[in-house]
Amino acid sequence: MRDIKELSLDELGKKLLSLGSNKYYAKEIFGWIYKKGALAFDRMSNLPAVLRRSLSEEFYILGLKPVGLEKSKDGVEKFLFELKDKNLVESVSIPASSRITGCISSQAGCKYACNFCASGLKGFKRNLSKGEILDEVLYLKNNCKAGSLTHIVFMGTGEPLDNYDNVIGAIRAINSRDALNIGARRITISTCGIIPGIERLAKEDLQVELSVSLHAADDKTRDMLMPVNKRYPLEKLMACLGQYIEKTNRQITFEYILIKGVNSGAASSQKLALLLKKIKLAKINLIPANPVAELNIAPPSRSDIISFKESLLKAGLNVTLRRERGQDISAACGQLRLKYEKI
């Protein structure tokens, strides 16, 4: 059995022709899956019964199985899914006043072993396929009120630019009018700074948002927090991001987790201001660290967080402080999977 979501509209059209059917049913089938949330071919009532039968003999629609759910008091829901090969992935749905953001994983496990993140603790398992990424999005969409899943962020487990083709393939379906029809500007790729991936992304005809997990403005601290910095150090990364902005004219958001005793003092904010003043169209998103018991990290005090923000504002930078969500559940990346695997 194959995942029908691996097929583009064109490929599905060709498949239908080879089944002796009409290629124009491809649009109908896309509509049933992506717009109406149908999870079985039997529901596709305007398709000939014989076509429904042949499709269900060869394809499945949803590949993952929900095995865990945590609901936060503030409406955040964290899902744990089992893939066909028993690997586990997480997705989170984050409601705000007029939007719901789906936080999607791109890999099972993670290679990058950032020092503050639960996702890398169990190592890397494998890339998710395009269909598995779309599974997560569809599951979240079907779980929300119709039309209310408005934004997608690749900030779950894994490094999206290390699974480039499958992530971009999924984004094309998320963005397509014939499929999920979520505007490209409402889709965010978050990267730990994979330079070749950023260079490729600059050349795509896709207006997606780019977030870079920075977390330190000097190589010594960033090497310690994010081993990937040894491969793609700050100077090269910043040069690459400068070119990305030149080429696309799009803003980049820099994510900066504030970790007590590590990167949240006055010297760190000055370094950060110096580094980002050189980048036009930079936005900084400060995130108080989510405690991860296994990693012994904690956020700084409220007053240290505020002074860090104030000093960046004074330096003329565009700064936001992320509201912490889902604090009462295993909200930080990889925490739900970790908990489940420990049982």
Contact residues toward ligand SAH (CB under 6 A) are 116-117, 155, 159, 190-192, 213, 255, 257, 287, 289-290, 292, 332-333
In the complex, least distance from residue 259 CB atom to ligand SAH, rounded to whole angstroms: 8
In the complex, least distance from residue 333 CB atom to ligand SAH, rounded to whole angstroms: 4
Annotated catalytic residue 90: yes
Catalytic residue among 103, 110, 114, 333: 333
CB contact set of 78 (below 8 Å; sequence gap of 6+): 69, 70, 71, 72, 90, 91, 92, 326, 329, 330, 331, 336
Q: Give dist(CA 191, CA 213) in Å, integer.
A: 6
Which CB sits closer to ligand SAH, 61 or 284? 284
Catalytic residue among 90, 132, 136, 209: 90
Strand stretches in the chain, DSSP E: 2-3, 59-60, 65-71, 77-82, 88-96, 99-103, 107-109, 124-127, 149-154, 187-191, 209-213, 252-258, 282-288, 318-321
Q: Give bridge partners of residue 93 from the DSSP assignment.
A: 77, 102
CA distances, 3 to each of 23, 39, 129, 140, 198 (Å): 18, 12, 10, 18, 29
Q: Give dist(CA 108, CA 83) in Å, integer.
A: 9
In the complex, least distance from residue 17 CB atom to ligand SAH, rounded to whole angstroms: 39
Which CB sits closer to ligand SAH, 44 or 289? 289
In the complex, least distance from residue 236 CB atom to ligand SAH, rounded to whole angstroms: 17
Which residues carry out catalysis? Answer: 90, 333
